[in-house]
Amino acid sequence: MLRCTFIFFFLVFITDSNANNKDKIIENLNNTQNLDFNFEQNINGKIENGNCTIEYPKKIFCEYAKSNNKILVSNGRSLVIKTITSYYRYPLHKTPLSFILDKDFLINKIKILEERIVDESFINYTIKENDIELNVFFNKQTYDLIGWQNTDVYQNFNITFLSSIQKNKIIPKNKFKLPDQN
pTM of the model as a whole: 0.86
In a domain, 174, yes or no: no
- How many domains are contained in the chain? 1
Instruction: Kindly list the distances between the CA atom of residue 39 and the CA atoms of 1, 3, 63, 139, in Å, as whole numbers in the listed order.
Output: 52, 47, 10, 15
In a domain, 178, yes or no: no
Q: How confident is the model at residue 40, as a pLDDT?
A: 97
Q: What is the CATH number of the domain that holds 114?
A: 2.50.20.10
pLDDT in tens, 66-115: 877 899 999 999 999 999 999 999 999 988 999 999 999 999 999 999 99
pLDDT average, residue stretch 164-181: 95
In a domain, 81, yes or no: yes
In a domain, 90, yes or no: yes
Domain span at residue 137 reads 2-167
In a domain, 39, yes or no: yes
